[in-house]
Amino acid sequence: MASVATTIERIRTSADGATCAPELAAPPWTLDPVPGYGPGASMGDVIPVGAPRQGGLPEEYRQASSDELHERIVAARAALGERVVILGHFYQRDEVVQHADFVGDSFQLANAAKTRPGAEAIIFCGVHFMAETADILTRPDQAVILPNLAAGCSMADMADIDSVTECWEDLADLYGTEPDADGRVPVVPVTYMNSSAALKAFCGEHGGIVCTSSNAESVLEWAFERGQRVLFFPDQHLGRNTAKAMGVPLERMPMWNPRRPLGGNDEQTLLDAQVLLWHGFCSVHRRFTVDQIDRARADHPGARVIVHPECPMAVVDAADEAGSTDYIRKAIAAATEPTTFAIGTEVNMVNRLAAEFPQHTIFCLDPVICPCSTMYRIHPGYLAWVLEGLVRGELLNRITVPDDVAENARVALERMLAMKPKGSS
Ligand code: SF4
């Protein structure tokens, strides 16, 4: 990272209005007693009752300077050696990511953890559902640690097991449960990786499957072979963008709002549906607009606009390409000529790509610095705290998925893994 400003440095030195919340510059432990996602893109979202809360971070970590925390993390890592592996999500802040053994998207990281069989502890510098997935996919004797328990995901939290079960029961009343003449069941549930273990287990138990933003189209094909329609949660945008690209008409993709009877639909709409989209979204990707793309094209003629499929449909339609974080990274890495890239995904990742590929001009479409609120909750202070705990033999903030939930969730994940990969991204 050397001379390039980290995102937090940009936040601290930016002018008023250049960030979405001035509190972003403050350390996240000031938020530990406060229920909510904290400043950043998800700050307006409603945190569910019972979401994990982080206890107070000990004073010594709150008082330590950035340099001291850095040195303590390096020393604890050295003392633990191969016993620990640190995973850093693409959206994580730079001062944490620099300590990661692997950097990637949630599924890449869960799989990366498996390549270190000697590791007793996996520290997941991401959000809660990612740590759960790592726990499901790794050995029971490997402990998965989330440095700050308040690092949830507002999108994942928009679909909970109770609301999805209620929806499922309503749909069974309407569609029945018998397969049609072709053997296709009335509905196949599909959950995005960004969901709780309980929802992955729900899909495992009900003939459904998990998808990522890289394989959503192949997963929908898999589901259409087995079902007359799909219930897709929690991200409406990934569901809509993918199904639309596959030719599903918009009028056959009603939204299911869990706070309204029949999800806010009439029976006929539901009977005609091909994909039922849950009323969920990512507040980071929802910030991107067609106006931003128009401005980027006006200011940078010839710019290549790539956005994440969690962005609204109009944004995906206006972009040159849409793809997962892995797709975006590979597209930039593959460009042989100096290129201007206007990117629609989380700002930490975009800034890091700009530093990594200085031969290109790379910028975030959103002119306001507004990182993912929950990734932001993982600060080097929490990383130092959990690492030094391990050095003392203390397991802090372990994330454990109950065996019965893990077993069914694994079924849904394995269906995805058994699928023949299609396309790139
Ligand atoms: S970027 Fe969006 S989907 Fe990803 S962790 Fe943050 S809120 Fe969740």
Q: How confident is the model at residue 194 (pLDDT cuts 50, 70, 90)?
A: very high
> Is the CB of residue 199 below 6 angstroms from any atom belonging to ligand 1?
no
The Cα–Cα gap between 132 and 373 comes to: 19
The full DSSP string for 176-207 is -S---TTS-BS-EEEEESSS-HHHHHHHHHTT
Q: Residue 99 corresponds to which tokens in the numbers above?
A: 């300590």
The per-residue pLDDT of the chain, averaged, comes to 94
> CATH number of 285-364: 3.40.50.10470, 3.30.60.50, 3.40.50.10800, 3.30.70.100?
3.40.50.10800
Q: Is the per-residue pLDDT at 425 higher than 50?
A: no
Q: Which atom of ligand 1 is nearest to the CA of 156?
A: 8
Q: For residue 4, with 0-12 CB atoms within 10 Å meaning exposed, 13-18 middle and 19 or more buried, which class applies?
A: middle
- Does pLDDT of 16 surpass 90? no
Same fold, 7-154+374-394 and 285-364: yes
Does ligand 1 have an atom closer than 6 angstroms to the CB of 91?
Answer: yes
Q: With a 6 A CB cut-off, is 345 part of the ligand 1 pocket?
A: no
Q: Ligand 1 center to residue 184 CA distance, Å?
A: 33
The annotated binding site for [4Fe-4S] cluster is made up of 153, 282, 372
pLDDT band for position 4 (cuts 50, 70, 90): low
Ligand 1 pocket, residue 153 CB under 6 Å: yes
pLDDT in tens, 22-33: 889 888 898 888
Average pLDDT on 70-75 reads: 98
pLDDT of residue 325: 96
Per-residue pLDDT at 288 exceeds 70 = yes
pLDDT at 384: 98
pTM for this predicted structure:
0.95
Tens digit of each residue's pLDDT (9 = 90 or more) over 222-271: 999 999 999 999 999 999 999 999 999 999 999 999 999 999 999 999 99
Q: How confident is the model at residue 420 (pLDDT cuts 50, 70, 90)?
A: low
Residue list, annotated binding site for iminosuccinate: 89, 106, 192-194, 213, 308-310, 325
Cβ 347 under 6 angstroms from ligand 1 = no
Ligand 1 centre distance from Cα of residue 153 (Å): 5
Is the CATH number of domain 7-154+374-394 3.40.50.10800?
yes
Give the number of C-alpha atoms closer than 13 A to the C-alpha of residue 13, restricted to the C-beta side.
6
Confidence of residue 371 (pLDDT cuts 50, 70, 90): very high
* Cα 89 off chain centre by: 9
For tokens 């979202």, what's the residue?
45
Q: What is the number of the ligand 1 atom nearest to the C-alpha of 41?
A: 7
147-159 pLDDT tens trace: 999 999 999 999 9
User: Which among 90, 127, 236, 325 is the best mutation to test ligand 1's pocket, defined by most ligand atoms within 8 Å of the CB?
Assistant: 127
Helix (H, G, I), strand (E, B) or coil at 154: coil
Give me the residue spans of the domains in the chain.
7-154+374-394, 157-282+406-418, 285-364
**Closest C-alpha to ligand 1, atom 2:** 282
What is the pLDDT, as a whole number, of residue 218? 96
Which residues participate in the annotated binding site? 89, 106, 153, 192-194, 213, 282, 308-310, 325, 372
For residue 424, pLDDT over 50 is answered with no
Model confidence pLDDT, tens digit, residues 387-416? 999 999 999 999 999 999 999 999 999 999
* Residue 16 per-residue DSSP state: T
The arithmetic mean of pLDDT across residues 4-32, rounded, is: 84
| pLDDT tens-place string over residues 78-111 | 999 999 999 999 999 999 999 999 999 988 898 8
pLDDT value at position 2? 41
Q: Ligand 1 pocket, 154 CB below 6 A?
A: yes
Residue-level pLDDT at 8: 81
Taking 80 as the threshold, does the pLDDT of residue 56 lie above it?
yes
CA of 201 to the centre of ligand 1 (A): 21
